[in-house]
Structure 1
């Protein structure tokens, strides 16, 4: 045999002798690395999503309440903001300056044990002084939540409680998963009856609310059927005792279809080991009429009692990990955990995206007998837009002051 042939045959045998040990070594290393990665993700899942994905920046004062001296100083903010309002009224010899009593916790408010969680989708923290004027006299306990850090000048002048969900999720609209704020609020384990989740641009007419503190309530909801490629929205026809499911026109169904189905798949897997998830799926099937049906609705205002804290944390973590849009995740979670269907809040939300959407005075007084109106941006008040200042100073604040006093027992 030619020496060249013997050389190549020897090299070939050597190569294949080494392949098996290398293959075994590679397999062992892969198993070890996979085990380590799996352990890492299990540990992360145990700690909860908001502790390792987003930094949580916390500024919490005792029991969420501000000192009396700070509450009284809000009167100065109101008078400065609405200076023209007071001057105009005084010219008519009608003294309408707010009584100092409005800025004192000297009444037995029905909301003294409820925390108001005010949530920002974008960091418009300059409106916090106005929000304090509107709600602090009736809600001693207020917690703010939003993206990024809060400016130090706000904390300097207002010693408020604030938590952050870091930055908005990449490739998603601002505040797409802002329900993480309630998850974090529940994790603080504060001594409250429950949390009212309120968007910063929601006008809250709390005096019109018949407040059921033991039950969940939310805005009106619809039911989406994802069993086929084209999503349908279903309602139950009591007369025909059947479900009516036309094709859905709501755009977010298509945008978040994959995320929803992924979340439902996770729920089905976890239902084998989690009683909370198992009950969740059972409630959805019973209330929505079939498998693969979830809820959707406005997620700008809702209330969850503290007794549902653990259930909300567990389910919101799953929906957040799959990046489910807030207007699908929140209504679905609330239907999952509630003992009965959530109470429906009467309110008005403007779906018209013309210039009328940002002109709340146009819709007044159509919504004053309701519990909420959305949107009502406060930024233009800071910028001294005359129409917005008129709405805030001449309509909203006088109504809030009057009803705050009337609700004192």
Structure 2
């Protein structure tokens, strides 16, 4: 047996020292891992680590409460795909429980180990901050904040979580009033500068493909967030407000350079804006979330981010309380907001700072300007420290454009390019469907819009009297977007078109060329209207109006497209299948045969364009190509068949929007002529037996002198009816006043 070597005392001491070092390393490593686990889970308390170990979600709702679970709270807890964290305070019942919520007592909050907690006072709305940090620590990629008396109406599906979206961006200056955008131009949200409430609203927007707003505020029906001045002067003391906003109107994105107040009651933050959740502690309760919102907006400009306002997706009922007390707490909102907006507009962050560096600087500068106290600057630093410890990824800074003069705005083009993802811009004038405003005393039984509509008819038909019951009982279609296309800029007909259709369709888009010319005639109307400036080649490519209208993101059930020379029998629409694509008669043409006439063989917009588009579709999406061509074969019985027909009116239900828009946009890139694309696309999407064949009358000439002979009140439309000529001849006036308008007014 080989001898075992003998070592001296020095070697044995070295081994002992090595073992000790190894033990210390293992202990440190284990402690480091525990500490890492604790930071990731937002806690250094072993009890809390075990308590919240399995609580993970990428979507969190954060609420604070002093009451036992309300019905609205229980509803929040039942929303699929979301977790709720409830932040308690001194007045919150100690035994607060809900099986679907994480409840953080004051003891829990202090044990989470966040540095921020040390500067959060008790009995403060700012304790909600602990809920934000808890959610981020437990996987939050999206946080929705609200109050325990708010109830979402759509399970939070209105908000946009995709990185980009089509929509309209406000093109005004300095301030945006979201209540005006959604149909209440005489209302203003809490925190809107009072000196700007009465300013003439801007209706200019730009439609494009944008980076999705990092912060999204949904409007609230019922008793929305307005200041005490409004409540003291525009409602009865003990009455409940029942305000409605236009729920069909499209969202609006607010560009850099423009401010809009937003609160903490129905607001969604995407991951790149979770840093913006911090609520200050040194302002009053009625000011804290509004000041937070202005602070956050200015910093969003430093990362190419935006705030977006979305149609009402929640309802709130408030308990009556002292509005005079609210007014005292809101004093800074009344007298300091203009100064704050001016300060933030001029404020600049040095080029070398990161976004978090800009946060620190702005918070400190707001202390120096006496907008909040020094503790909020310290709170910002601790907040950033906690975010970094949790591994939150700081957004990359995109420095806001430099100015020649700090008192001037960056050029509009510079602002928009920070968030635009394409250059498919469309100029839009937008005005929502007007909603009845609250009044302190009101005996009105008819809406002003209805009375105005009746007055317009009476003015044109001065020798006629119309008998109708309540104007509010007239058939209307708030769920349909009507798109009226001017092939040529005959905008002098605008007033009469409004008289014919605006009472029945609260949502109308007029589309055509030359916005300046349109605006000249639109100024003569009693209210603003929505217009989209689109170059459609004098109607040859009229489908562009439908495509762009769909991209605006109206929340409607269908899109009804028609030319300005179509007479629409509005009283029949409710009897038709609104869940089907509507088409008119069309004939089959073939790619392999030359078709003379009707522009089928036109080299740019006819059959050659269609063949080129099909080849491209096959290359970019073989599945869609096969689906489309197979359906066309099913409907035409020709392998190379497609369709040609009249294209002055069509209807697209919302359920077909995605496919319809895809194919319309694809074929339009090849300038396919409207009388080919309108009949072909629906027949490439759906079987003929599932399409609705519209009943209507087509004339190749102006039929107004004989229209009573050919008019059929049971049909959907008549074409061609040139408004300017029709209303100027006795036969036309007689037809409209004795036949058409009486039919529109029937219930």
TM-score by length of 1: 0.69
1:125 and 2:491 matched: yes
Q: CA deviation at 1:250?
A: 4.7
Partner Cα separation in structure 2 for residue 398 and residue 59 of structure 1: 31
Q: CA deviation at 1:328?
A: 0.5
Counting only pairs closer than 5 Å after superposition, residues 14-163 of structure 1 correspond to structure 2 as 52=423, 55-62=425-432, 64=433, 68-83=447-462, 85-86=463-464, 96-97=465-466, 99=468, 101-102=470-471, 106-107=472-473, 109=475, 111-149=477-515, 150-155=518-523, 157=525, 158-163=527-532
**Secondary structure of the residue that 1:222 maps to in structure 2?**
strand
**Secondary structure of the residue that 1:364 maps to in structure 2?**
helix
Partner Cα separation in structure 1 for residue 450 and residue 499 of structure 2: 9
Partner Cα separation in structure 2 for residue 334 and residue 212 of structure 1: 15
Q: 1:118 to 1:65 in 2, by over 3 A?
A: farther
**1:267-321 CA distance string (max 9 Å, x none):** 232332xx44432222112211132211112111111011222222221122212
Contact 1:264 / 1:292 at 8 angstroms: preserved in 2?
no
- Structure 1 residue ranges, 4+ long, deviating more than 6 angstroms after superposition: none
Q: CA deviation at 1:258?
A: 2.0
Contact 2:484 / 2:508 at 8 angstroms: preserved in 1?
yes
Say which of 164, 181, 191 aligns to 2:533. 164
Partner Cα separation in structure 2 for residue 378 and residue 181 of structure 1: 20
**What is the aligned length?**
310
Partner Cα separation in structure 2 for residue 365 and residue 276 of structure 1: 46
Counting only pairs closer than 5 Å after superposition, residues 152-301 of structure 1 correspond to structure 2 as 152-155=520-523, 157=525, 158-165=527-534, 167-169=535-537, 174-209=538-573, 210-228=575-593, 230-231=594-595, 250-255=597-602, 256-272=606-622, 275-301=623-649
The equivalent residue for 1:378 is 723
Q: CA deviation at 1:251?
A: 2.4
Contact 1:186 / 1:306 at 8 angstroms: preserved in 2?
no
Counting only pairs closer than 5 Å after superposition, residues 296-375 of structure 1 correspond to structure 2 as 296-338=644-686, 340=688, 341-351=690-700, 357-368=701-712, 369-375=714-720
Partner Cα separation in structure 1 for residue 496 and residue 469 of structure 2: 17
Q: CA deviation at 1:217?
A: 0.9
Contact 2:541 / 2:674 at 8 angstroms: preserved in 1?
yes
**1:7-40 CA distance string (max 9 Å, x none):** xxxxxxxxxxxxxxxxxxxxxxxxxxxxxxxxxx
Contact 1:347 / 1:367 at 8 angstroms: preserved in 2?
no
Contact 2:449 / 2:503 at 8 angstroms: preserved in 1?
no
Q: Which has the higher contact order (CA 8 A, sep 6+)?
A: 1
Partner Cα separation in structure 1 for residue 520 and residue 624 of structure 2: 40
**1:154-182 CA distance string (max 9 Å, x none):** 146231122121x343xxxx111111111
Q: CA deviation at 1:98?
A: 5.8
Partner Cα separation in structure 1 for residue 579 and residue 718 of structure 2: 24
Q: 1:281 to 1:65 in 2, by over 3 A?
A: farther
**1:42-76 CA distance string (max 9 Å, x none):** xxxx969xx746x51212223x4576434422333
Partner Cα separation in structure 2 for residue 132 and residue 283 of structure 1: 39
Contact 1:71 / 1:136 at 8 angstroms: preserved in 2?
no
CA RMSD, aligned part only? 2.6
Q: 1:47 to 1:190 in 2, by over 3 A?
A: closer
**1:178-210 CA distance string (max 9 Å, x none):** 111111111111110011112111111233343
**1:363-391 CA distance string (max 9 Å, x none):** 42433132111011111246x33332223
Q: Which of structures 1 and 2 has the bigger CA Rg?
A: 2
Partner Cα separation in structure 2 for residue 396 and residue 110 of structure 1: 16
Partner Cα separation in structure 1 for residue 709 and residue 519 of structure 2: 35
Q: CA deviation at 1:114?
A: 1.5
Partner Cα separation in structure 1 for residue 519 and residue 209 of structure 2: 28
Larger helix proportion of the pair: 1
Q: CA deviation at 1:127?
A: 1.5
Q: 1:220 to 1:65 in 2, by over 3 A?
A: farther
Q: 1:336 to 1:364 in 2, by over 3 A?
A: same
Partner Cα separation in structure 2 for residue 71 and residue 128 of structure 1: 18
Partner Cα separation in structure 1 for residue 550 and residue 475 of structure 2: 22
Partner Cα separation in structure 1 for residue 576 and residue 671 of structure 2: 31
Partner Cα separation in structure 2 for residue 99 and residue 109 of structure 1: 12
Partner Cα separation in structure 1 for residue 536 and residue 652 of structure 2: 23
